[in-house]
Amino acid sequence: MIMKIFYAFLWQEFFVPLTWFYNFVGVSIGAKIMPEWNDLANSISGTPQTDENVTLANNVYPGDS
């Protein structure tokens, strides 16, 4: 859970004051890394993710496409 909450706060709009980080390239990198990050967090916790959309990082939140 700590890994996932850290990742959520990192990408929360300007929670971390790194203005160079929140551009198209930075957000695209974050979107590409999200499935692997979630897989790693799930494997550490041992709790399986049952929602395929979250696993694939597809339609997870409004406007994510």
Domain count, the chain: 1
Instruction: Please name the residue that has the structure tokens 């979630």.
Output: 38
Average pLDDT over residues 28-56: 82
Confidence of residue 51 (pLDDT cuts 50, 70, 90): confident
Paired tokens of 26:
């930075």
Q: Is the pLDDT of residue 40 over 70?
A: yes
Q: Is the dihedral of CA 37, 38, 41, 44 positive or negative?
A: negative
**Does residue 63 form part of some domain?**
no
Q: C-alpha angle with apex 10: 8 to 12, nearest 5 degrees?
A: 65
**Does residue 64 form part of some domain?**
no
Host domain of residue 38 = 2-10+19-56
Average pLDDT over residues 26-53: 83
Report the C-alpha gap between 38 and 57 in whole angstroms.
Answer: 9
Amino acid 18 reads L
**Does residue 30 form part of some domain?**
yes
**Does residue 31 form part of some domain?**
yes
Question: Do 38 and 31 touch, CB atoms closer than 8 A?
Answer: no
**Does residue 23 form part of some domain?**
yes
**Does residue 47 form part of some domain?**
yes
